[in-house]
Structure 1
Amino acid sequence: MIQAIGLTSNPRKEFPPALDDVSFEARAGRVTALLGVAGAGKTTALRLMLELQQGRGITFFRGRPLHRMAHPSREVGVLLGDVPGHPARSVRGHLRMLCAAAGVPARRADEVLEVVGLVSLRDERLGTLSRGMDRRLGLACTLLADPHTLVLDDPADGLTTRERRWLHGALRAHAAQGGTVLLTTADSKEAARTADHVVTLERGRLIADQDAAEFARTRLRPRVAVRTPHASRLAALLTKQARTAHRSVEVVRESGNRLSVYGSNCADVGEIAFRNGILVHQLADEIGDMGPDTEPDPDSIEPRADEAPQDTYGNAAAVGDRRRRAPRAPKRGDGQAAAGDLAARSEMPRTADGERAGTAVREDFAAGPEEAEDEPSSKADGSRSSASPVDDLPDLPPPISVRPAPSPLRPLRYELRRAAGVGTGFVTVGVVLVVSALTAVMLARIGHTPHARLLVAWPRELPLPPAALGAGLLGAIAFGDEFRHPALAADRGTVPRRLGLLAAKLLVASATALALAVFTVGCDIEVLYLVYGRELAEVPADWLSLSASWIGLVVGCAWAGVLAAGLFRSTTAGLAAVVTVPIVVVPLVQKVVVGPSVRSAAGFPLRLREVLLSQWPFGGERYLAGVARVIGQPVGGAMTLSLTALLCAYLFTTLRGRVR
């Protein structure tokens, strides 16, 4: 179960907090709906619960907060908004990447794809999916690690009636097996149809915490839905008739030619329309909202949850019969709550029309994407109708019986799938090679460029060569899915604060930068040979030290991009850190070392080399001398200083996050 205690967001300047001291529970084996209009604080509540936003309060998932779990993604499945994957990544590749992040076998991706009905679209790109398919993929992401708890932010937004039925059926199936489901919605009808428990928020405060039966009984009332081309005339006649008969009838003009009549019935409304010759296109009994003005007076004092009666607030929803079915055998320990809840409701008295008193009507849950026809529009609007019995809910993926032991290769496997799943890296490498070759040809034609710089296409006017900038960009885009994807952000094993993932990203970035450095020099030499002959394609005599400096520069740029992007959670910040080194840091280092002053540090590389040139075994002094020569260069020293600062900042934020 979920226990949210005192959730309060940090206020912004003079504005009140978006969420103020909200506490509620979501029990296992039940579907809990967090109800509220836009701006009520639903998404803020979920982000505070998942520790994705700074604030006060704490949330326990089966007795433990999220940051105390070794692998939270195996406990909580998260869906916030659209699936934020790379548009060019395939559906199956995206799920396989998440499998590596969650530490589950790659075959799990095919299992959840079959359950959500996306097997035929597994090779499609994420950017080409429709809204309904995106919702199915989002549910597949949440079910991937077989979590006990599902947390979803408005999962049915923008879906058709048929797609909503399937989604709600899948969530009901998860709850029937003992899992916990918490979803947000702005539609009170949807909350009453799909949830066992409804928690209502308004302006960041909790105003009602009710079972669905109580929600339907105390906060909804019947109405008559009328569609007629003469809506204004019929509304006036109904109002006049109510005054004459001294009856409390409220007529609300809605969009188009629709009227909602409260305090009357179909017979009376139909008789008045017939007597006055008014054509009626629709006449149906519904369970509707409390009226057109459910918002409290802004000047009034907003009551707290412990002060206000729970039957005087909120908007309404459609009600009717709950579909009853034989309970499934729970797969989780505390899943008997759902069976007990259904048994308790089965003892409720029936009303005159045979319906359970105060029980909410649910739409028929489709067994899958191949359901035949959508429901009539009257049923979608909340009209009372008898739900046809459905034997089984949609099947869920089989449980993961054996969890693989933690492995140091898990973050490396994830990083390799992330980097190879899209063509961005390959395109970047190709562009860098082409630009570098063209730059080398132009520099050779102009002249006045040293041979060493010519081979790497590094003009004196530019702070960095194309290969170094490309390596920095590849490092900066290494962090992206981690701070955009809630399914990854909920797992401490995959967020940028995890040192295992950082090591994997640095390792992959180093290998990529090394390959880029070698390919760039090789392409430049080949192009120079083809255009100008053997003279410009000769390898310098001190090629070993130059190669070490070149590889160190490219790898350092890649590392700077990785660290800055992970630290600031921004790809732009990562690339900016790479460009800042030669533009800002190098001049500062030169000014400090050899600038005009009483004492100058000129000759520091030579003295450092003399200190390190002691007798080392196996000729190690030669390698130390090479390292000292690289660090002694202005760009090398600035890069070393920047990497040290970024790494220290990264370690500081990691330790601070673990101390919480």
Structure 2
Amino acid sequence: MLQAIGLTSTPRRDRPPAVDDLTFDARPGAVTALLGPAGSGKTTTLRLMLELEPGRGTTYFRGRPLHRIAHPPREVGVLLGDIPGHPSRTLRGQLRMLCAATGVPASRAEELTRAVGLDGLERRRIGTLPIGADRRLGLAAALLGDPHTLLLDEPGAGLSASESGWLHALLRAHADGGGTVLYTTADPKDAVRNADRVVTLDAGRLVGDQDVTEFSRTRLRPRVSVRTPQAARLAAVVTQEARAARRPVEVVAEDGNRLSVYGSDCAAVGDTAFRHGVPIHRLAAETGDSGGSGAPAGRGRSGPRTAVGGGGPESGGSDREPGAGGSVPADVTPSGSATPGSATRETGAEEPGGARRPARSPLRPLRYEIRRLLGVPSTPLVVAAVLLVSVTLALLLGRGGRAALPAVLAGWPALSPLPPAALGAGLLGAFSFGEEYRYPALTTGRGAVPRRPGLLMAKLTVAAAVALALGAAVVVVDLEVLRFVYGGELIAVPRNWPTMSASWLGLMIGCAWAGVLGAGVFRAAAAGVAAVLAVPVAFVPLMQKVLTGPSVRSAAGLPSRLREFAGPQWSPAVDRWLAGGLRVLGQPAGVALSLTLTGLFCAYVFTGLRRKARW
């Protein structure tokens, strides 16, 4: 059972809270509609339940609050607003990436693609999907972890009648299988057609928690919808006859040539129109809003009302059941603690006392990051642009014969602060976090981009691997193109190529990591690129002045002193590698990169501690 107890949002700017002391429950095996007009607090209620909104109150999912559930996506499936994710990502790539985040096999993506009727659209981009397919994709994402509870915000908004019917049939099937379904809607007729229970909100407060039959009886009433070119005349004659017969009939003029007649039926209205020669273009029985306190505005309330025949509109009865405003659900003790639910999917680690330690998402960060990197077109475009620009610059620099071979192989002219390969590595690293914040694929599960060590390590690892591959590819391609154009005998590999390679690959990894950390700290890809460019533009000149000053001492002999300090003896080859590494790090660019990365990492940890995202 889903139990929401005392949900209250934090007021903003001296305004009343969007949700105020809201308590209700949604039972398993049933579909519950959270009904209310725009601004009534429906979306804020869902966000409070998911701990995405600051406020008070507790929500129990089968006896446990969300932050104590081992794997939230396997307990709660969520659809809030639009489908999150990069619009250029394919439908199949999006689901496979979310499979890695949820910790389920990738085959689950294919199963749900077939289950929600998206066969044949696997290679379509998310940004090109029609609204019906977009909503089906959102449901597939919510169902990836086979959750017990579904929380959906306006799932049928903008859908056609057939698409809406399919959607609610799927929700009904989930409830019939023992699951809990809670969805929001602003249409009372939608709630009557598709829900078993209706929870009505007005201005953030509970005004009704009723079975759908009781809701229909007390809040809705039948009406006759009439469309005629002589609407005013028909309203007058219907009113006149009802007054003469002392029948409680109410006629409401709608937009255009439409009338809503309450307290009568189609036969009576049709007979009246026939007797007075009024043409009828449409005559249908409908269910309209009763207009009681707190009811969502319906079509039948847009025009003037005329109560005739000695009686006004029916009051519709009481909207509030006994104890509906602040009663405590039966499964919760007066102290506010929930009784244990019958959870069936318990895979988290045990803590002392039997509590579950929540797992942090994504559950498979390395696999998630690889699929994120390879699922968007920006990655191959950046790599292709880097190779093309590097080859062009290498040919131009090699033609003059005055540039040093390392600069030629890297395509690094003197006027550029960084070679194209380093800029490309930094850009891909900046996209690693920048696209997460711009197109947050993980928002539906548990909030903003998780600031957890596992995901950061995965991003740094993948960024380093991409930077190494890109740096090696640039050098190899440039060397082969130079030999092909200018001849192999003119382009010889230098003897100190190991040291040069270490410096080159270190620069690539450092720029990639600077992009990752810069975008992670400032939540934008542009900030990551700025962090990469700040190293050669601002910090390297400063380090050159500091390291080349007259009072600088040499670190010669440091490897031997480290060996003496460490105790165990290592081979001369290790000495040479250690000395080479220290020489690389001792360069101004190496020192500047090291200091920049250290500062960015500390800033990332500091901002992560301040935000404290619950993952």
Q: Give the shorter-chain TM-score range.
A: 0.7 to 0.9
Distance 2:233 2:485 in 1: 87
Distance 1:52 1:570, change over 3 A: farther
Distance 1:457 1:494, change over 3 A: same
> Deviations 1:614-652 (Å, cap 9, x if unpaired)?
263124343333333333333322322222223233334
**What is the aligned counterpart of 2:451 among 492, 497, 517?**
497
The offset of 1:602, in angstroms, is 5.6
2:226 alignment partner in structure 1: 226
Q: Does 1:614 align with 2:561?
A: yes
Give me the TM-score of the superposition, normalised by structure 2: 0.80
1:125 alignment partner in structure 2: 125
The offset of 1:486, in angstroms, is 7.5
Distance 2:58 2:401 in 1: 66
1:174 alignment partner in structure 2: 174
Deviates more, 1:474-483 or 1:441-450: 441-450
1:379 alignment partner in structure 2: none
**What is the aligned counterpart of 1:311 among 308, 316, 319?**
319
The offset of 1:546, in angstroms, is 2.2
**What is the aligned counterpart of 2:552 among 600, 603, 607?**
603
2:429–2:516: 8 Å Cα contact kept in structure 1?
A: yes
Helix, strand or coil at the partner of 1:70: coil
Structural mapping, 1:214-363, within 5 Å: 214-239=214-239, 241=241, 248-291=248-291, 311=319
1:99–1:108: 8 Å Cα contact kept in structure 2?
A: yes
Helix, strand or coil at the partner of 1:462: coil
1:162 alignment partner in structure 2: 162
> Deviations 1:152-188 (Å, cap 9, x if unpaired)?
1111111111111111111111111211111111222
Code of the aligned partner of 2:378: T
Q: Does 1:464 align with 2:407?
A: no
Helix, strand or coil at the partner of 1:201: strand
The offset of 1:334, in angstroms, is 5.9
1:527 alignment partner in structure 2: 481
Distance 1:238 1:424, change over 3 A: same
Structure 2, unaligned stretches of length 5 or more? Answer: 298-316, 322-340, 351-358, 564-569
1:496–1:502: 8 Å Cα contact kept in structure 2?
A: no
**What is the aligned counterpart of 1:410 among 332, 339, 364?**
364
> Deviations 1:73-102 (Å, cap 9, x if unpaired)?
111111122322333433333322222222
Code of the aligned partner of 2:552: G
> Deviations 1:541-578 (Å, cap 9, x if unpaired)?
43322221221121122122223334444333333333
Code of the aligned partner of 2:586: G
Distance 1:60 1:484 in 2: 31
Distance 1:94 1:63 in 2: 32
> Deviations 1:412-450 (Å, cap 9, x if unpaired)?
223223323343312211111112222333445578754
Distance 1:658 1:613, change over 3 A: farther
Distance 2:21 2:543 in 1: 51
2:582 alignment partner in structure 1: 628
Helix, strand or coil at the partner of 2:155: coil
2:222–2:288: 8 Å Cα contact kept in structure 1?
A: yes
The offset of 1:659, in angstroms, is 8.4
Helix, strand or coil at the partner of 1:104: coil
Distance 1:294 1:64 in 2: 31
Structural mapping, 1:643-654, within 5 Å: 643-654=597-608
Distance 2:403 2:118 in 1: 57
1:615–1:621: 8 Å Cα contact kept in structure 2?
A: no
1:429–1:470: 8 Å Cα contact kept in structure 2?
A: yes
1:343 alignment partner in structure 2: none
1:104–1:404: 8 Å Cα contact kept in structure 2?
A: no
Distance 1:507 1:20 in 2: 46
Structural mapping, 1:430-449, within 5 Å: 430-444=384-398, 449=403
Distance 1:142 1:452 in 2: 52
Code of the aligned partner of 1:618: S
2:72 alignment partner in structure 1: 72
Deviates more, 1:127-136 or 1:83-92: 83-92
Distance 2:296 2:162 in 1: 34
Give me the TM-score of the superposition, normalised by structure 1: 0.75
Distance 1:659 1:283 in 2: 55
Q: Does 1:573 align with 2:522?
A: no
Distance 1:278 1:457, change over 3 A: same
Helix, strand or coil at the partner of 1:251: strand
The offset of 1:468, in angstroms, is 1.4
1:141–1:487: 8 Å Cα contact kept in structure 2?
A: no
The offset of 1:514, in angstroms, is 0.4
Code of the aligned partner of 1:624: L
1:183 alignment partner in structure 2: 183
Distance 1:622 1:230 in 2: 99
Distance 1:402 1:59 in 2: 21
The offset of 1:131, in angstroms, is 1.5
